[in-house]
Structure 1
């Protein structure tokens, strides 16, 4: 028993059978099951009312594909957070207003993303809303302190304050759009977001002042996994901008939640490495488009993304998703090593992530096999 407790401590679990750990586990399972079960009725309703992406030259779908998955993901995430809040397993009163600010900002971006999915809002308007959502976090105490970033000079307050605000806005808006631009092949963003959530969750669990971040990440990870069950190729529903905005914004915001002031800059190292895939993808796409003379790189979609390049080589959406999941996981391991997370916790995280991803992908493939058998002549339903 003592060895089991010692192993749990490597994961940042103070009491393996305590209310805190069990409530985090319940938060994860609530989000997973709720999102998984909620998506089918959402998909059916979305198709009925026309919330769907129509086939075109850029999209892989051959028939209308429901694009309201982001609403189901947000619902699952929100329900799990309510469950966690009701249990109150940990003292998070000090950051309650910050948690509410994250949820409010996420809700606004989910709404704007959903409207954009249906009516195509202008890039300038989307950027404005994202910047305002970032400001919402700043005024509630969630910000990057430039003077807390290691190896950089300490600046006077008159310079540090506006620079910190600018860095925070760039961080939030940048990651929000990075996740959005990565969403082009079935299963990629859902899997990458799940990997990022799990890595950041285990990393945050190593610090006593980041308990609220652990709860939010558990809920977001569960919602991502529940969605992925329906999105592994061929997908039955996509998350749209509503879902990618939710993942990008929430992951960026949670990385600032509950951190000590002296570590607020250094704490960005892990999410920066974990999110290296979408960040590098966005960087190379924007630079490439600007080099071609495109003035508005966010408003001119093309097929120069990493997932498009991998898809061209593999000719398989499934293999493309799995490859990018593994790349994200490798980035996550590097981030955990840089943060000094114990090796048993890193190994356990990798095993847990791989098992969860295999489980949902395997269940999706099995379901497709049963559907094909049911449609075959001479087969019973």
Structure 2
């Protein structure tokens, strides 16, 4: 036990039997198990009521595929946070209002995303709701502080305040849409969101004053992992806009939480690097569409996303997902290194995330093989 405790200390875990660590572990496991076991029931109901994406030239599915996975992710995330609140981990009470603001904004986007999945909404209406969700964070003092970004001169308050407000809205709305636009191949967004939230969780856990961020990220990463068990190719359910906007918004919002920001200076640089994949993907897609003379790049879907390009080269949704997971892990390691974490903590986090991804992918493949075998014997 002493050797295990010594190893945990190298990873930044002060006490394996301490209340803080056990609360985080229970939150993560609760989110994962709830999502894992709830999805089959949700899937059956979704098929009955017609909550499904129909096959078309842009989608990989050849039959109707339930698109209500975002509801299961949200359910697992919310249940785990309620459990965490009941356990009362250290320091969470200090930022309850900000945590509630994040949960309220996430709830709003899940609701609107689900309506969009089933009935379709205009891009403008979705953008308005996303902006309102970002404003909700601002009124609860969750914002980008430009004066905390390194290598930038200090701005007077009259300039810093409105400019910080604008940057905050762009950050939240931009990342929400970036994660949404990355959702095009089975397992990609689920895996990338898991890696990003798990890495940010491990980073925040290195510091005793970041309990609120740790709890939220534990719930989000656990829910992503539970969902991924059913989404690795061949997928049995997809998250839809409800799930992808939940991930994008929550990651953006938690990165603004005072207890997650890195010490004076680095501000959003660590989350920016950890979330580099969806941000770079959206940037290159928008620039490419504008270069082709498309005035509204968000209303003209195409196959120029990174996941489409990788899929075209690999001809395999599974390999595409794994490659992008590895890219996300590399970005996560770079972000942790920028934060100044010890190599042991970085290596342990990357290894743990990789093992979790391997486990759910293996279980999905195994389940599919058993299902194919039963059909073959029928």
Aligned to 1:156: 156
Which segment drifts farther, 249-258 or 220-229?
A: 249-258
1:19, CA displacement in angstroms? 1.2
> Equivalent residue for 1:109?
109
Label 1:51 to 1:260 Cα distance change in 2 as closer, same or farther (>3 A).
closer
In the other structure, the counterpart of 1:203 is 203
User: Are 1:134 and 2:137 matched, yes or no?
Assistant: no
**1:145–1:264 Cα contact (<8 Å) kept:** no
Task: Give the equivalent residue in structure 1 for 2:65.
Answer: 65
Q: Which residue of 1 aligns with 2:273?
A: 273
**The residue matched to 1:302 in structure 2 has which SS?**
coil
1:144/1:265 contact within 8 Å kept = no
In structure 2, the gaps of 5 or more residues are none
> Aligned Cα RMSD in Å?
1.4
Counterpart contact for 1:28–1:218, Cα < 8 Å = yes
Residue aligning to 2:345: 345
1:303 counterpart SS class: coil
Structure 1 residues 305, 264: CA separation in 2 closer, same or farther (over 3 Å shift)?
Answer: farther
TM-score (norm 2): 0.97
SS of 2:370's equivalent? Answer: helix
Distance 1:250 1:205, change over 3 A: same
- CA distance in 2 between counterparts of 1:215 and 1:264 reads 22
Task: State the distance in 2 between where 1:301 and 1:7 align.
Answer: 48
Q: Secondary structure at the match of 2:267?
A: helix
Q: What is the CA distance between 1:264 and its match in structure 2?
A: 6.5
The residue matched to 2:227 in structure 1 has which SS? helix
User: Which string of whole-angstrom CA distances, capped at 9 and with x for unpartnered residues, describes residues 218-260 of structure 1?
Assistant: 1111100000000000100000000000000001111111338
Q: Is the 8 A contact 1:27 1:84 kept in 2?
A: yes
**1-side partners of 2:164 and 2:265: how far apart?**
10
Deviations 1:326-347 (A, max 9, x none): 0000010011111111111111
Match status 1:46 vs 2:46:
yes
* Structure 1: gaps of 5 or more residues: none
1:164 is paired with a residue whose SS is helix
Partner of 2:166: 166
**Larger CA deviation: 346-355 vs 237-246:** 346-355
Q: Deviations over 1:268-290 (max 9, x none)?
A: 11110111110000000001111
CA distance 1:65–1:261, shift in 2 (3 Å): closer
User: What pairs with 1:222-233 in structure 2 (closer than 5 Å)?
Assistant: 222-233=222-233
CA–CA distance in structure 2, aligned partners of residues 162 and 305 of structure 1: 33
CA displacement at 1:2 relative to structure 2: 5.1
**Cα distance in 2, alignment partners of residues 135 and 266 from structure 1:** 23
Match for residue 291 of structure 1?
A: 291
Is the Cα–Cα contact under 8 Å of residues 209 and 258 in structure 1 kept in the other structure? no
Whole-Å Cα distance in 2 between the matches of residues 157 and 354 of structure 1? 44
Could you tell me which residue of structure 2 aligns to residue 220 of structure 1? 220
Cα 1:21–1:373 change in 2 (3 A) is same
Q: Give a deviation string over 1:51-74, Cα, whole Å, max 9, x none.
A: 110001100100100000000000
For residues 302-336 of structure 1, what are the alpha-carbon distances to aligned partners after superposition, in whole Å with 9 as ceiling and x for unaligned?
10000000000000000000000000000100111
Give the aligned length.
378
Write the distance in 1 (CA, Å) between the matches of 2:147 and 2:258: 18
SS state at 2:62 partner: coil
| Equivalent residue, structure 2, for 1:144 | 144
How far off is 1:265 after superposition?
5.6
Superposed CA offset, 1:205-224 (max 9, x none): 12222111001111111100
Equivalent in the alignment of 1:336: 336
